[in-house]
Structure 1
């Protein structure tokens, strides 16, 4: 519990905007980048002259966020662009990936930051899939798969000068460590979700962690680093569906800017690379130690040939089956 306590009350961040040099020439993509943690991350990256794409469903919110960021950092040589992306509609994700690839020939870091938490019971995606699983796992999985060739091409170009700098960051939560069932995920609950939105949310966040581990295994040889993280619980729109009776929990929340440092660390810190691909980051920018994590979760992340349960591979294959009709 000491490790969990340190995630609720973490030390001050040590990797911040002051740790970064110019990011000019790099291309970053943040899903959900016009509010909350993603917005604060976009501000930091743009201030360091990066080319930043903010992906989401609301062009109006994105345009306002872009105007606010530019006004806050008038001396930046970077750029800000909106990319239309609806993670709960698998039919349109190919178009979003194609639109991005039509504009860019590289992608340095993809932050799978957007998500939904505890929507009204019975909420489903455009394809009739439970909304949290669809938005937090299946949509990001498909989007990442479609962009993986570009990530791998960028990693190859960086292999001599900046190995391990091309990354995919998956937003998890310490609710997995606290509440996930033994073995991390009960696969039967995916197609027959329990009538408990907190449990379904936990399942979706467990899925993010599993996908991160499996991507590291599959694309690590091509130079792509995959990182899962608990950003820290922050005051964001993610909790707009959380019951008011949980108000006391809000007193423990941090500001989005602080949690953005966790995501910044995961995406850009030199502490992370191919040598520790598949690592897990905790608030506000620290590598989690294996001895502080549940052994059953670590086994779920590992392949059977590595002494694990193979749950990460099993969930990956589940996501492949659910999204295979939407690649073209």
Structure 2
């Protein structure tokens, strides 16, 4: 409990000035970035900052009309940019579509400097399901990003061969829920209909959200362990911060009025979340040697998570490894 309170306080109050913003970010000419869920909220702000600094940014989203509208708005905000904005269809809640999205990207691009797995859902209405019938939170926040990232590992590796070590990165979206809402060890398991082990917690969507955010921390550590050092790619995860974004749209119907009032008192403008994410993807002080599998906290600081989660990430057969193997099994037919 003490660690949860400390994490809540240190990541919500008295946060230092962001070290990397649109004001001091170096020119990004020649760099290619892919930001999922970047048609709105913090992802939109990340895409806007990168484009303003002449990067090529892929706006990966489910709804083309919204993504194209976002692209036009970003272009209007930065008329002098020499960068590019491209739309990529990506529906993380339907595993049958993800391979086609990855192949579409690979057919039109030959490098990728940062994959930012920013997209996700937060406590959708109870009973919400993805296209394959799994819990919507698990499918959108865990299985979809896992499969998409696995399919893009080859281009990340190729890009890393020609770039400074640790500058090619994959980042995963955690939140304060990693510390406050995930169960002991980060995940709960049960037997599925096929008799195989599967993630539990679907009946409690707040628990499912906590598990999904812990899973993204585990992805940062496990992908780093299995592929990062081998490929020269830095994998990390982040808590973007307590933000007033569209992610909160389902919350009001599920929490007491006082809790909603208190929540809004703790929320910051989404641009600050973009600073956290930009730091995760571009801060030069993050290195393969000391920051593989690292966790970034608002508004761009090297942080940590609960000790039980760190222990599970380090164990050979801990929760991080179990989660990875479960994702491998569930997504195999769609790869």
**TM tier, shorter chain?**
over 0.9
Shift of 1:175: 1.3
Kept in 2, the 8 Å contact 1:234–1:259? The answer is yes
**How far apart in 2 are the matches of 1:198 and 1:209?**
17
**How far apart in 2 are the matches of 1:167 and 1:257?**
21
Kept in 2, the 8 Å contact 1:130–1:193? The answer is no
Matches within 5 A, 1:2-17: 2-9=6-13, 10-17=15-22
Shift of 1:156: 1.1
Kept in 2, the 8 Å contact 1:152–1:219? The answer is no
Shift of 1:271: 1.9
Per the alignment, residue 312 of structure 1 pairs with 320
What secondary structure is seen at the aligned counterpart in 2 of 1:240? helix
Kept in 1, the 8 Å contact 2:187–2:199? The answer is no
The Cα offsets for residues 109-154 of structure 1, whole Å up to 9 and x where unpaired, read as: 0000000011111110000000000000100000000000100111
Q: 1:257 pairs with 255, 271, 277, which one?
A: 271
**How far apart in 1 are the matches of 2:153 and 2:234?**
11
Per the alignment, residue 56 of structure 1 pairs with 61
Matches within 5 A, 1:59-98: 59-98=64-103
The Cα offsets for residues 226-256 of structure 1, whole Å up to 9 and x where unpaired, read as: 0110000111111111125342111211111
Kept in 2, the 8 Å contact 1:84–1:96? The answer is yes
What secondary structure is seen at the aligned counterpart in 1 of 2:29? coil
Matches within 5 A, 1:278-289: 278-289=293-304
In the superposition, the TM-score normalised over structure 2's length comes to: 0.92
Per the alignment, residue 287 of structure 2 pairs with 273
Q: 2:243 pairs with 224, 234, 237, which one?
A: 234
**How far apart in 2 are the matches of 1:97 and 1:238?**
25
Q: 1:296 pairs with 308, 312, 331, which one?
A: 308
What secondary structure is seen at the aligned counterpart in 2 of 1:16? coil
Shift of 1:12: 2.1
Task: Please list every run of at least 4 consecutive aligned residues from structure 1 whose deviation after the TM superposition is greater than 6 angstroms.
Answer: none
Per the alignment, residue 165 of structure 1 pairs with 167
CA RMSD across the alignment = 1.3
Shift of 1:191: 4.3
Per the alignment, residue 194 of structure 2 pairs with none
Kept in 1, the 8 Å contact 2:188–2:200? The answer is no
Shift of 1:2: 3.3
Shift of 1:54: 0.3
Q: 1:219 pairs with 214, 221, 227, which one?
A: 227
Q: 2:179 pairs with 177, 181, 186, which one?
A: 177
Kept in 2, the 8 Å contact 1:89–1:139? The answer is yes
Kept in 2, the 8 Å contact 1:12–1:284? The answer is yes
Shift of 1:3: 3.9
Per the alignment, residue 195 of structure 2 pairs with none
In the superposition, the TM-score normalised over structure 1's length comes to: 0.94
Structure 2: gaps of 5 or more residues: 192-197
Structure 1: gaps of 5 or more residues: none
Shift of 1:324: 0.2
**How far apart in 2 are the matches of 1:6 and 1:193?**
28
- Report the count of equivalent residues: 317
Shift of the 3–117 alpha-carbon distance from structure 1 to 2, 3 Å rule, reads: closer
